[in-house]
Amino acid sequence: MEKILPIQSVDKKINRQMSVLIGNYEFYYAAGVFSAIFGVELDPKMDPVSLKKVVDEYIKNNNLVANEPSPEQIAGDSDDFEDKKGYLVYLMNRYEIIEQYDDVMVDLYSDGFNNWSNK
């Protein structure tokens, strides 16, 4: 598995605010990004169903708002970090979990966390 593909895909989706997460590789990378941005501790060794449940509970308990993108955001004209955070919540809310799990997902979670920790 080439890890760069889900990394590039999710980064582009968050930055351009388009599309949805496809597959658990993208979901785990996005969960790492979510953890970095919102400062929530998540366990990447959790199975996908459990991890999604924890993310959903965090979103609900913290009243995080999911932003559907505006035409400006879709066009890539918005560099507003709050827009990106809201769109990440939107992506996480919409993701339909797949039960398969492998060790690559732990690495992708770590990549997401590390790549977005300094933003």
- Alpha-carbon distance 103 to 76, whole Å? 33
Q: What is the CA radius of gyration of the chain?
A: 13
- Cβ-contact 60, 89 below 8 angstroms: no
Please, what is the Cα angle at 63 between 57 and 66, to 5 degrees? 90
Q: What is the pTM of this model?
A: 0.89
Domain containing 17 equals 4-116
The dihedral region occupied by 63, where left means phi > 0, alpha psi between -120 and 50, and beta the remainder, is left
CATH, residue 27: 1.20.58.1400
Total domains in the fold of the chain = 1
How confident is the prediction along the chain (119 residues), in pLDDT tens digits per residue? 678 889 999 988 888 777 889 999 999 999 999 999 999 999 999 999 999 999 999 999 999 988 876 666 666 656 778 888 988 999 999 999 999 999 999 999 999 999 999 87
- Alpha-carbon distance 119 to 84, whole Å? 11
**DSSP 8-state symbol, 79:** -
Tokens of 52: 């999604």
Tokens of 19: 């599309």
